[in-house]
Structure 1
Amino acid sequence: MPPVIEVEGLTKTYRSGLQALKSVDLTIGKGEIFALLGPNGAGKTTLISIVCGIVTPTSGEVRVAGNDIQKDYRKARQLIGLVPQELTTDAFESVWSTVSFSRGLFGKAPNPGHVERVLRDLSLWDKKDAKIMTLSGGMKRRVMIAKALSHEPDILFLDEPTAGVDVELRRDMWALVRRLRDQGVTIILTTHYIEEAEEMADRVGVILKGQLVVVEAKSTLMMRLGKKTLTLQLQEPLAVLPPELSDWALELKAEGQELEYVFDTHAERTGVPSLLRRMSDLGIGFKDLSTRQSSLEDIFVGLVHDGREAA
């Protein structure tokens, strides 16, 4: 996919001395869903804010569809829709007015049909005449998304879009994201609900202390860093592990009634069959087995833990 966002050597140091970003390099292709993960304070929002032209970088370059975010600000910003974490809307305006006004801010001609489609997609049509101040928090979040989509952006940033919202909005939100991706819109999201990133994202980036520590296709990341766990329920409990099984990383659980083997994907075709053969040779039987594969959340937690230990 041709890159629609190009970030090179991006750094940001605030006046307090905090270095929020440290030489970040990143490219995001047109039409992909990219999930940016990281703990609080890792630099996610700073990175998004710089790409969207809200925060000025200390050094580095950012191009949006070939437009420099500082030199060609208007062209670059016109291509971007942003749903920020914070709810910032005009409390006394109606839903229809605030979404229509947001479209006009980007120099777009009025298009009531498009505004209506966006409001219907977000289940806001029956609230179009309601003042923002009368809406629930979840409905206000829907309005923020509608504002970001009002000018038909090619790139949509979603900064924790489903934080603190109900299951219905989350479902509607991801259905809308899929439709937008099918239309060629590039989606960049941050989320604390890692299962959402696991379900939706094409690629995943993990940022820690201002540095991108990994950027991979989701499937590649899970294959490279993921682990599988094989649990065998033994027919007879073991007091200790026989030395003949020392070639495998095994652990006895449940008072010797379970044998647990943690392995990576490379060992799946060799390590597991050879382990079972050796157990058979030793007369160690099992009555049941189960496997569990690491989730994206497991990988993320592991990366964060390793990063903190290194620091």
Structure 2
Amino acid sequence: MKLLLTGSSGWLGRFLAPQLRAAGHEVVGLDIAPGADTQVVGSVADRALVSDLVADGVEAIVHGGALHKPDIARYPKQAFIDTNITGTLNLLEAAARAGHDRFVFTSTTSLMVSDRVRADASTEAFWMDEEFYDGPPRNIYGVTKQAAEGLCRLFAEEHAINIAILRTGRFFPEDDDTDRALAGENMKANEFLNRRLSAADAARAHVVALDGVLGQGCETFVLSAPPPFARTETAELARDARAVIARHFPDAADLYAARGWQLPATITRVYDPAKAQRLLGFSCETSFASVLDALRGERDLPFDHDPAYLPPKEIA
């Protein structure tokens, strides 16, 4: 199948383009920055460019291109609207004109994080599946991604396109741009308990969704490493996460201590990816258990960490 992949030079794109090709697809990469997997340098906000690319035999679109949360400090709000909303509209309109039967859209769990969730002040961990809602998103990134999701649902209904909306948890390689309480690798390892997945798993979910969404209409999926916790543990997670972790992983504290790391004292949100397993047959291969296995065997950690990473568009 000939695919248009947006965001092909970005962090997700560098994992996703090779996986799509390995699955037998011809990939046309579109990005505002040059890259090894980018054949066309341009913006999804350019309606004529998008229309011409899709009209040239493209059979489906995987839309991973976007401005992200760190870009809030770099770009005005209008740039988020142009890229994340107008760009998505341009792609959906082109897909509808071409009669596509599927569309994969990279969304984000960030749009589920309201100010109250962000405050981490709840007496019980928020269990965040696809039905979770706690008020409007807290920033322009979340607002524009929520609007783009709405466009996906509208086009799915009006044009009978099967659309997979993939709300990915964290998989960026750089350090957190707002929370530096822990070293980067330590923080990323902790996040596999409740809110992170590997970039390779994020890419594989898109490949699976491309066929898995057929016949499903428009469906939203939260993507994260499978949490080891039960919903009955949410109050204790917010009160004493280390006690809960010790029940599930008795040697975690010792493994962390040997590396000079800290386990989280509290966990106040848990992303639940069960729907993706149920409807797509997808689950992440890398988990918190994988991290501990690497620590036990003194092997490389099973996730990417690069504090110096910059998106290619910033380098360009």
Q: Specify the TM-score bucket, using the shorter chain as the normaliser.
A: 0.3 to 0.5
**TM-score (normalizing by structure 1):** 0.33
Structure in which a larger fraction of residues adopt strand? 1
**TM-score (normalizing by structure 2):** 0.33
Larger radius of gyration: 1
